[in-house]
Amino acid sequence: MLISDAVHIWREPGGDYHIEWQATHPDTEVTVELLAEGSAMQAHYAEQPARRARLSGLAPDIRHYFRLRDQHGTEVLATERKFGMQGTPNFRDFGGYGTADGRQVKWGYLFRSGQLSSLSAQDLILLASLNLDLVCDFRRVEEQESEPSRLPQQRPRVASLPIIPGSNSRFFEETEIQVQGREPMFDFMLEINRDFAEGQTATYARMFREILALEDARFLVHCAAGKDRTGFAAALVLLALGVPREMVMRDYMLTARYFRPELELERLQRKYQMENMDADAIMPMLEVHEVYLARALEAIGRNYVSVEVYLEQALGVGPAELAELRSRYLD
């Protein structure tokens, strides 16, 4: 049987779509159908050895949805999670996940990414097609001013929500990061993620207020790389919607698939004046590891009896706010 939470779709910058899926049995047969007005594109695949499809020739400036169906009648409606943006590699939809009570987070409402300062003209067309209402920018004010976001002509509301410890060079000095080996930076990243949960509650509380202030807002949360500050933000939203922790972690770890640390190393060294620092010692800051987010979730569990209590007491997201979020963003 087709596993609904194990369908993965992404688009290359050139426009080709890749569709991957998993099933509970190797004899599962899967039909992939493009959902588009007047379209009859359909392909049939067996689970073994084909667990993926590649579709070419689709319009690059709109978002395409697909229906996957197995021979048992299980259907999955899915679209690309990661967008083929030329100027920001980690732009993705974090909808589509199942909740503990059997519902599903809507596609096309919740997005996450890295910086938007280098978007191409084609990227802007695609971004405009998403009809965003709100952009939450977690970068420091200096980052926002030195690398301003490129946005469509019909600009969404932009909420400046700077999270400082995640990318503040002074924080390196305060924590006495050493230049030899990976361990000091790795430990530093663990400390940052703990701080997201314990020390940045006012900012993440404001994120929820900004979302709730706009009716049925389609929103984007982003920082510089779209992995740490943004990763915790997306985790909070998914947990508030009732997505199980293992699925939240799966979404978090997709950054490891889309974000190439080696391509960002030189930029990071220039940004924080770390040209003389050993590259291997810096890499944990560019990588994503389950233990990073796990450290933030452990901090919540250590101080609160449940995530729901944390959301209410630390972030002001109580039963009424949870009900509103779930009515908006769950099918």
Enumerate residues 6+ apart whose C-beta is below 8 A from 223. 114, 115, 137, 138, 139, 163, 166, 167, 229, 230
How far is the C-alpha of 331 from the C-alpha of 324, rounded, in Å? 13
- Yes or no: say if 94 and 112 are a contact pair by the CB < 8 Å rule: yes
Q: Is 223 a catalytic residue?
A: yes
- Residue 234 corresponds to which amino acid? A
Pick the catalytic residue: 223, 268, 281, 293? Answer: 223
The two three-digit tokens of residue 179, written as one number: 């230049």
Name the nearest CA neighbour of 2 among 65, 91, 66.
66
Rounded CA-CA distance 235/251 in Å is 8
Give yes or no for a contact between 264 and 22, defined as CB atoms under 8 angstroms apart.
no
Backbone phi, then psi, for 20, in 5-degree steps? -120, 150
User: Looking at the annotation, which residues are catalytic?
Assistant: 223
